[in-house]
Amino acid sequence: MIGPADLAISFGVPGEFQHPRIVGAMEAIRDTCVSKGIAPGTQTGRRGWPGSGRRAG
């Protein structure tokens, strides 16, 4: 489970959930999970992954 708020704070961009670094990191995590047969998850309050325009999986 990815916590976007924690990730954004760790990257030094608190609250900027559409920041390119956050979106890129979340997509990399999602892609790694999918490639290993693990269902990725996030707490976004909406469907899909931030900035991707698509649903995970």
Give, for all 57 residues of the chain, the pLDDT tens digit: 888 899 999 999 999 989 999 999 999 999 999 999 999 888 866 555 555 555 544
Domain assignment present for residue 46? The answer is: no
32, 11, 6, 40 alpha-carbon torsion, rounded to 10°? -10
Domain assignment present for residue 26? The answer is: yes
The total domain count for the chain is 1
Task: Choose among 4, 24, 42: nearest CA to 56.
Answer: 42
Domain assignment present for residue 31? The answer is: yes
Domain assignment present for residue 17? The answer is: yes
pLDDT for residue 56? 46
Domain of residue 23 covers 4-35
33, 38, 44, 50 alpha-carbon torsion, rounded to 10°? 30
Domain assignment present for residue 15? The answer is: yes
Domain assignment present for residue 57? The answer is: no
Domain assignment present for residue 41? The answer is: no
Domain assignment present for residue 50? The answer is: no
